[in-house]
Each structure stands twice: as structure tokens, then as C-alpha cells.
Structure 1
Amino acid sequence: MSKIVIAGASGFVGKRLIETLKESHELVALSRGKQREDGIEWRSCDLFSLKETEAALEGAEVGIYLVHSMLPSARLTQGAFQDFDLISADNFARAAKKVGLKQIIYLGGLIDRSLELSAHLKSRLEVEKVLNSYGIPVTTLRAGLILGRGGSSFMMLYRLVQRLPMMLLPAWTATRTQAILIEDVIKLIQFCLLKEECFSQSYDVGTTEILTYKEMLRETALQLGKRRLFFSVPLFSPKLSKAWVSLVTGAPYSLVGPLVDSLRHEMLVRDTRLMEAAGLPLVKFRQALQVTLDEPKSESPFRRMRRIKKQNREGSLVRSVQRMSLSTTWTAKQVVDAYLDWLPRFLPWLLRVELNPEGGCSFYLSGTKLLLLKLALDSTWSNEDRQLLRIRGGILSRDNNGHGRLEFRLVLKGQSAIAAIHDYRPSLPWFIYNWTQARAHLFVMKNFGKYLKGVSHV
């Protein structure tokens, strides 16, 4: 019985996968929160922590990666979702190499490489690239809209039809795509498990039926017995249409935006190798929709998202991730040294930096002995391409059981550097912090990125 770790196990696909695999495999389900289920080992794991990720993957043969960072992971998040995706995937791939996984299976998105991709699809493709960059065989399944109760894509489709007797349809609803039933996705993942012919391969998955989103809306209305009027409005503002979908469906704007952007380009199956090899009679959209509508109602994914947002607010933690262009000849240690040399010269009237013999540093208010922040180098988790500094004191930080940290790491084979603050708990009242220190940090890091781009390409 092989041991499989599922990252993103508490999500829509993860829950279905557990139900299918739990009788035939030893499963370890990863989630940021505490979960319980008979016969399943749940491990609390923050994928932004390399230490926790390594511990979570220990002893496994296969890692199934179902994570997408389109929702905030802290009360305050600074940075693009692509960079949150990047750092989580990088941790997973590094950990997979360290523990010796035999295979990673990743569920990504359908890609048309001939077009300029949306940020959402670029991120999916980049995650695929990062997971492949540490030598572990990766099997990628690229899917479009996945139909099933509990899925955010289906819930948006369903609620639009349920709640609007008349719809003004923007241009993106005329884009062709190929959906797939969640059960078919699960069967294809199961088919790929530890199958060497599937190692280091990327596959498109979806039905043979090509439909537009408008046609999917019509079919949904038909099966629900709802009489609906549809009017195409090609000049409808994309921002307005995203806000409209979010308002009507209750889906967070941060989720709607990337999904709508991805539908501005065709998401079609161009590689049918896996489906042919698996020999599965994939269900067409009409059947898939009927199967989905016949399933017992489950908790709305948007309610779960609101619960996560509430938990983030109560935690009052900060995550800030910035990506910087970098020469491939630099190390993470050089990036840290450049930052500590540049920062007091950039803000001489505000900061004084003292380097500590053990490798960390202390930030003082310029002209005083007032300690603002103290950072200690964690040598256990630092190396040539990653430097980890733990927040150990200073008047700007509240104790967070040692979890607060600043890291600099190289990604994408040294093409970029990531500067990230994780689990930082500020001492300032939240409103004041949000309008002062948080904005100052973002301003500093953006300017350091410009500086680094110049000096590292000399």
C-alpha cells in the first residue's frame, strides 16, 4: 500500500480524492487548519514553511499538489497571487527532493501557448515549471472548468442562473472551453499514480465537447427548469463584469478575477494521450451537469472561504511576498548582503543597521539606541539559494512563538529572487500598522527590487 500525501486536501478536489483513495492507499492529508476523519492522517501544514512541508512529506512515495493561492493566507497579504503560488510550490518541490518522493502529481489549468496567457494561467504554468525544477518526476493534468458540487466554478455557474432572470453577457462568455466532471479528474489522477510512463509528462484533460460559457449557462438554465434571457454585450467592462459576478454569486472578487481573466482565451484540450491511455469514457457536459445537480447539496465553497477570511482576521498576521529580477550568478547570501548594505543608505534619516557576528542583524532608529527589529539567521534552514532570518525582538514586533520570519530565496533556477515576510505579528495597532509600517515595507521592497535589478545585471 503506497503512502500518498495530498496538499490542498480540504478543498473541493482534495475531498473527492480522499474518498476514492482511502481504501486502497495510505493517505496523509495536508491542511492549514486541524481536521479529523477516520482512517485518514491529517497533518497541519503551512506550505509557506519549508520546515513544515518537509515534515509533512516524510515517508511518502507520491505527493499530489492541488494548491492555488487565489485567496489571502493572512489578515494582510502584500504581493501577487502568482508569487504566493510560486513560493508554496517551490517549498513543496524542495521538500519532495529532500524526502525522496517518487512522483508529484499536479492539477493545473488548460493552456494555449500560442496566446498571451492571463496572470492566472501563467501562474499555473509557472507552478508546473517550479515543481519540475528539483529532479522529481512530475505528472501534470491540465483541466478547465471542473464540474461537481462544492466546486467554485460550478457554484458560480449555478448561482448566476438561479439568481438572474436576465443576463448581460460580456465577451468572455463567448470563449470556447472544455469542462470535465470531477469524478473523471479523480479517475485520471488515480490512473497516473506511480505509473512510470506518466512520469515527467503534461496532459490535457476534458470532454470532447467544446462549449462557450454562454452555452453552459443556457444548458444549466434548461436543466434547472429556469426561463432565462441572455443578451450579449461585447463592450461590457471586464472589471465591471467581475464585480457583477462576485456580487451575484457571493464569490470573493479575488477568486472571480483570475477565473474570468482565464476565460478570455480558449481553454481547449489539444493533447488526448492520457484519456486514450486510461480508456475512460469521459462524461459530456450535459451529463456532467445532470450528475452534479443530482448530488446532495454540500457546503458552499464561498462560505468556507469567508470562514478562512474570518480566521485570518482574528490571527492578525502579515505575509508579504515580492519577486525581484536577478542575475543567475548571485546567491541568496549575496542578495541579503546587498539588502543590508542598501537599506541604511536608502533611508539614512530613519534606520541604522548593525550586523550580528552570528549572521543576523538589528535595525535601530537612526541616531538612537531604540531597537526596532532584531533578526537572527537560522543556519539550519539557510543555504546558497535560501537565507532565513527569524524575527527575535524589537519594539515593532509582538511575540509569535518564533514563527515570524524574513527570507530571501532564489527561484526558477536563479532567474528571480523572492523576498518574503511570513507570520509577522506587528506590535502597532492594526489600523496604524496598515497605514504606516506596512506601506513603508512595500515601498522599501519595491525600491530594493529596482536597485537589485541594476546591480545584479552589471
Structure 2
Amino acid sequence: MAGYQNEPPAHRYPMKTVLITGATGYIGRRLTQRLLTGGRHRIRLLVRNPRKVQVSVADRVAIRTGTTFDTASLTAALEGVDTAFYLIHSMGEKDDYRRLDRESAENFRRACIAAGVRRIIYLGGLGIRDSASKHLLSRIETGEVLVAEPQRIDTIWLRAGVIIGSGSASFEIIRNLAQKLPVMVTPRWVRTRTQPVGIEDVLSYLEQAIDLDYRGTLTVDIGSAPLSFQEMLIQAARVMGLRRFLFPVPVLSPRLSSYWLILFTPVPYRLASALVEGLKSETVLQNDHAARYFPAIRPLDYRTAVQAALAEMEHNQVVSRWCDSSGLQACDITDFDDPTGAILRDVRIVPFSQGESQEAVFHSACRLGGEHGWFRYNALWRLRGLIDKLLGGYGLSRGRRQTGELRVGDAIDFWKVVDLRANKRLLLYAQMKLPGQAWLEFDVQPDQLVQTAHFIPRGLLGRLYWYSIIPLHNLVFADLARAVVRAASRE
């Protein structure tokens, strides 16, 4: 069957088959690992691009290729499933994202009922309709669609506020602000209360929801003690051994606040704007169902959750990041992993001797970006990153998930890994703001490195852009290829 890979053999005792949608996203990757570690369920993933599934996971799960908008693939993915996780969210790349979110949820609920799925588990956001931002409102509407037929399918709707974990968007904003700014002039919304929750607690609720003895629809609000964003910043700084001072003022609009965030944190403007809008309204628990139905889970306090997130980063154990996948087009790679249509190219060929093995050169290329930087012309790379940030792009501050490991779908500053072939090829797709599409390819041959910048210009502006930066290419790209080979000799 198309899109079907590696269905694990049936256990000698009955095991439930669990489907995870959004499996290559921030929550989905971690939930997959958690359930595999437990070993009590057969895991099936519904993904748009199976190449984004971690190699360490791919041979232990069943992979189905498709989307919630493709009825045939959705029906095939749900065959024989007992419990289905709905972990799909859009941050509004398109103007009609709310309609698309509702349509996706409607397709999913109907397909689950038709397939005889026992339970849907959905992770949404805290908030109430009257004061919710557009993006929080979309998540509320998604939940309402999923629970619309309680007499035909059980649904557990978990609602979380700020999720604290290594790689989460909220935590990366908090960490970056606390580390970089000893004094902050902040807008009024920093005093708005929410109830943060640690990522490990979120995963515990999701896992235990599979076997919860409950029929019908249950909404469960999860979180630790209420805190304002200001209190979260100050407490996170203290955990890091820092002292910070915040001075709220009434003059910073949401738009100005979003620009302020993108200058000092890894998130782009659209995501920053969505998060700011969400923080303007109080998001606190509306029920005590977490304590009543999940008494074994005692949520970590905020400071402990921050410590755990920092420890993961320090030990290079970040499983997933906010930029792994989402409804944003730029987070997917399906349509961006082949630069053969490029009409403009910059090719650099650097021979290497037996002192620099093919494996070492490939490894050297895979260490680019993040804290390791881009070798000699880092200042020019940083300038390009700043310009990109100001234009609403990712910039260089997004960094990378881990220093030494790469996988397809990982972010490297304002690039995305769209092809990775061990000791042979690394292909990066540009997510910076450009009048066209661009790739940077490292083709490691037995005796030479072929580095190619590919570009598909968009109209006259795209061509003018390419030819105007040729002098910079002659500096940066020529040096980059040589530096990758030189670094390999020191491996």
C-alpha cells in the first residue's frame, strides 16, 4: 500500500495501534519516542514527508504518507487504529488558515468515525472564546470540531498554555531574552497571567489519555501554578544565575513588541506576532480535570521545568524544536528538495588529498551554522541574518538543534536541511527573505568538494539581486568551500 513502511509485528498479547499526526513536529517527535520507550503500543505515523522521520525511529514504526486533506491516505492511515492523536496546528501562513484548520479537523473526525477509531486525543491551547487571539481561537475551533459527535467517538481535549521545554518557541523566547537583556522595557502584556507546563508533563498527559477510563468528550486543562510572563522571565534568569530588571510601559503596541522579540530571539515575525497576541489575554485553567482524572501526574513547577530544558540543551539532547514542522509552508521540505530547475549557479570546486577523507569533509560541512558559525566571513553572514530578521525572516539566531547531528528537516540558521546522504551530499534550502528560491549544496566526492549555490529568480528583481551580490559570493562562497575542507583535515 502506498506510503506504508515497516509495520511492526503484532505482539503476542493484544496491543493497541496508535496513530500520531503531526509526527515530525515539536510535540509529535517527542510523543513518538515516549510511546516507543513504553513499548505498550504499535505506533503508526501520518506524515507529509517520510524522509523527515528520524532514522532511529523509522524502523520501529509504521509510516503512512499523506495529509488530513487527502481522504484516501487518511482512510488508509486510520485502518485498524484504536487511538488517534491530532497534533496539527497552523500559525497562519495563509489568510484562510482558520477555515483550513476547521476543514482538516472535520476530515479527521469523520475519517476516524468511519474507521472505527475508539478515541481522538487533541492538544490545544488554554483560553476562552471571548478574549482569545485569532490563533488561539483557531485552536479552540479545532477542538470544537473534533468533539462535535461525542455519541459516536470518544475525544479527550487537552489544553495547555506556555510549554516549557528545550526547543519550544515559548522557552526559546524566554531563554534568549533572559540571557541577552539585563534591563528590559516591556509592554503591559508581560503582566498577563498564564499557567506554564513542562514538556515532560504534557507528554505524560498525552500518554495516559490513551487508556483513560472515560466515555464521551472530556476537556482537560493542564498547567502548573499561574505566572505572568514577567515572572517567568525573572525566574528563568535566576535559574541561569542572572538578575534581570523589567519596566513595563504602556507605549509598546503588539506590532512593536513583535519586532522587539524578533531582534533578540530566534522566532520570525509571524510567529512572534501570534505569540504576543496570545499573551495579551489571560490563559489559565478553566477546570480541575487534570487533578481529577490524572491524579498520578504532579506537574513540575516552572523553575524545575526550566532547569530540565536547560540541561537537555547543555547535554545536546534536544529531540525537537519549534521550527521542525508546522502549518507554515517553509517548515515543510516536500517541494523544496530538488534544485534542478535553478537557472543561476555559483559553483566552487575544492580538491582534497588523502589527509582529508570524504567522511571528514562531509562531517565538516554538517557542522556549519549555529554556534560553530560560517568560518571567516561570519560578520557578513550576521549582517545578512540581521537584514533577514528585519524583513520578517528567520535570521541566524534560529541556530540549530544540536551541534554535531543533522537530520532531514532540521534548521541551520536561515537554512533548512532538505537532503542528507551520509558522506556524500548535504542540501540546504534557503528560508531567508529572497526574490526567488535558493539552495546551498555540498557534494562530497572521493577527491573533491563541489559546493554549489542554486538560485531560481523571481522576475527582474530576482536577477538584479543575484548579480548585485556576485562580489560577495566571490568572497563568502569561495572561502566557505575551502574552509570546510581545511576543517576536515583537523577532524
Question: In 2 relative to 1, CA 88–307 (structure 1 residues): closer, same or farther, beyond 3 Å?
Answer: closer
- Tell me if 1:118 matches 2:153: no
**Residue 277 (structure 1) shift:** 2.7
2:167 is aligned with what amino acid?
G
Alignment of structure 1 residues 46-445 onto 2, 5 Å = 46-70=67-91, 72=93, 78-113=94-129, 115-134=130-149, 135-197=152-214, 199-207=216-224, 209-279=225-295, 280-295=297-312, 296-297=315-316, 298=318, 301=321, 304=324, 308-309=330-331, 311=333, 314=336, 431=458
- Judge conservation of contact 2:26–2:324 (CA < 8 Å) in 1: no
1:263 is aligned with what amino acid?
L
* CA RMSD, Structure 1 to Structure 2 (Å): 2.7
- Judge conservation of contact 1:252–1:302 (CA < 8 Å) in 2: no
Structure 1 window deviating more from structure 2 (170-179 vs 84-93): it is 84-93
Question: In 2 relative to 1, CA 7–201 (structure 1 residues): closer, same or farther, beyond 3 Å?
Answer: same
TM-score (norm 2): 0.60
**Residue 301 (structure 1) shift:** 2.7
- Judge conservation of contact 1:188–1:275 (CA < 8 Å) in 2: no
The whole-number CA distance in structure 2 between the counterparts of 1:131 and 1:259 is 24
- Judge conservation of contact 1:139–1:198 (CA < 8 Å) in 2: no
1:63 is aligned with what amino acid?
A
Task: State, as a whole percentage, how many aligned pairs show the same letter.
Answer: 34
The whole-number CA distance in structure 2 between the counterparts of 1:300 and 1:62 is 23
- Judge conservation of contact 1:112–1:268 (CA < 8 Å) in 2: no
2:263 is aligned with what amino acid?
L
- Judge conservation of contact 1:103–1:199 (CA < 8 Å) in 2: no
- Judge conservation of contact 1:62–1:194 (CA < 8 Å) in 2: no
Q: Tell me the alpha carbon deviations over residues 328-356 of structure 1, each in whole angstroms, 9 at most, x when there is no partner.
A: xxxxxxxxxxxxxxxxxxxxxxxxxxxxx
Across the two proteins, how many residue pairs are aligned to each other? 315
- Judge conservation of contact 1:155–1:300 (CA < 8 Å) in 2: no
2:291 is aligned with what amino acid?
M
Q: Secondary structure at the match of 1:203?
A: strand
Corresponding residue for residue 392 of structure 1: none
Q: 2:63 aligns with which of 31, 38, 42?
A: 42
The whole-number CA distance in structure 2 between the counterparts of 1:301 and 1:21 is 19
**Residue 198 (structure 1) shift:** 5.5
- Judge conservation of contact 1:120–1:262 (CA < 8 Å) in 2: yes
The whole-number CA distance in structure 2 between the counterparts of 1:130 and 1:179 is 25
Q: Secondary structure at the match of 2:304?
A: helix
Corresponding residue for residue 2 of structure 1: 16
- Judge conservation of contact 1:103–1:139 (CA < 8 Å) in 2: yes
Q: Tell me the alpha carbon deviations over residues 355-414 of structure 1, each in whole angstroms, 9 at most, x when there is no partner.
A: xxxxxxxxxxxxxxxxxxxxxxxxxxxxxxxxxxxxxxxxxxxxxxxxxxxxxxxxxxxx
- Judge conservation of contact 1:174–1:214 (CA < 8 Å) in 2: yes
Which segments of 5 or more consecutive residues in structure 1 lack a partner in the other structure?
73-77, 317-428, 433-458
